[in-house]
Amino acid sequence: MIVVPEFFAQRLVTMESAAADWVDRLPEQAAEYAQRWRLRIVGDPMHGYAGLVLPVIRHDGIPAVLKLSYLTPETRDEPVALAAWQGRGAALLLDSDIECGVLLLERLDPGRSLVDEPIAQAVSTIATLLRRLAIPAPPGISRDLRDESERWIEELPKDWERLGSPFPRRMLDAAVDVCRQFGPSADRLLVNEDLHFENVLRGTREPWQVIDPQPLIGDLEFTMLSMLWNRRSESALDDRFAAVVDIAGLDAERARAWTLVRAVQNWLWFVEDEETQDFGWPAVQAIAPWALG
């Protein structure tokens, strides 16, 4: 039976109170799928924010990882996206139980990510992967940027007022205008809104492969914020933005516009959730005004 890391459990339950029962069942669930898929757990659990990852050996001797995910609108379609990419630029999906959020994936190197690469090389690599993974959205992706934008037009002003008008009104109005202008015409591509340096690991089949996608249907430009968020002190926002736009072949206007929307969403989230403020304030307070221009 595995031991669930205390930090992982506490943080997830703090962010998602309904996750408490899921966390309690994790050891039993891990044992169940290890038996079902004939796996041997060979190391300590690793984790992100909403998923526990166990290094395993398959019955045929091939190393893999067993991932147990807490299902949210952002995480539930991960196996659909991975299956569509078929291991091209992303971790290869070996098996899954979509309804339960359990995935069997090829094992990558958790100790090597783009966080540790020189910033220029990291930006070039992640932008190249962004373009490479931009395929027509497959059936089964439940979130659509067109629908989400329509909802945000109503929700963002309500949340802004409810939380005490935490940033200038013109920033809110500009974000809502982006949803009105670009939402109805959003593209039909498979987009990973959580493509950042920590989510690109060293692989064996390919040099670098994406993990932990949060997929939706929409504009590729919607992903930009994730690539600006980390390692901000290592390059100017203008320079990094221009590099990603150029390498990935993005529309600069849409990329900056969607960055503003996502920065506004994050700002409201950090105001509401005090547990995340230390992590979020430096980034959002730098990126939101920049995106507004």
* Residue pair 254/191 in contact by the 8 Å Cβ criterion: no
Residue 114's identity, in one-letter code, is L
Asked if 194 is an active-site residue, the reply is yes
What's the rounded Cα separation, in Å, for the pair 104 and 34?
Answer: 10
Apex 189 CA angle, 186 and 195, nearest 5: 100
Q: Strand pairing of 93-97 and 46-47?
A: unpaired
Catalytic entry in 187, 194, 212, 219: 194
Which residues fall within 8 angstroms of residue 82, CB to CB, at 6 or more apart? 90, 91, 92, 93, 103, 105, 213
Instruction: Output DSSP code: residue 185.
Output: T
Cβ-based burial of 207 (10 A; exposed 0-12, middle 13-18, buried ≥19):
exposed
Catalytic residue positions, numbered: 194
